[in-house]
Amino acid sequence: MLKPNKHLDPRFSVIHVGGLILKTLKDKGILTFDELLSILRGKIDVKVKEVYLPSLSFLFLLGKIQYHRKIDSFELITS
C-alpha cells in the first residue's frame, strides 16, 4: 500500500489518506475514530475504509498522532 503500482488509485494510497488525516486533525482537533472516518468518507469515497486503519497505523508509527484509549479518539502531535 505504501508503494503505488499502476493499478492503485492515488486517492486510496496510505500516504494520501494519511495526509488528509493530518490536515483534518489539524483543523478540527481531537476526533473520535468514527468521526474521522466519516469525514474521510465525505472527502474521498466510501472505499477509504479499506486503507483507513493502515493509514492510522502509519501515522502512529511515525509519531504524528496520538490515540486516547478512554475516549477512543485521535489527536495530532504538534512538536
Predicted confidence at residue 78, as pLDDT, reads 86
Q: Are 26 and 66 in contact (CB under 8 A)?
A: no
Longest CA–CA span in the chain (Å) reads 41
Q: What pTM was computed for the model?
A: 0.87
pLDDT (tens digit per residue) in 48-69: 999 999 999 999 999 999 999 9
Distance CA 33, CA 52 (A): 10
Going residue by residue through the chain (79 aa), what tens digit of pLDDT does each one get?
Answer: 556 677 777 788 898 999 999 999 999 999 999 999 999 999 998 889 999 999 999 999 999 999 999 999 999 998 7
Which domains are seen in the chain, by residue range?
10-76 (1.10.10.10)
pLDDT at 4: 65
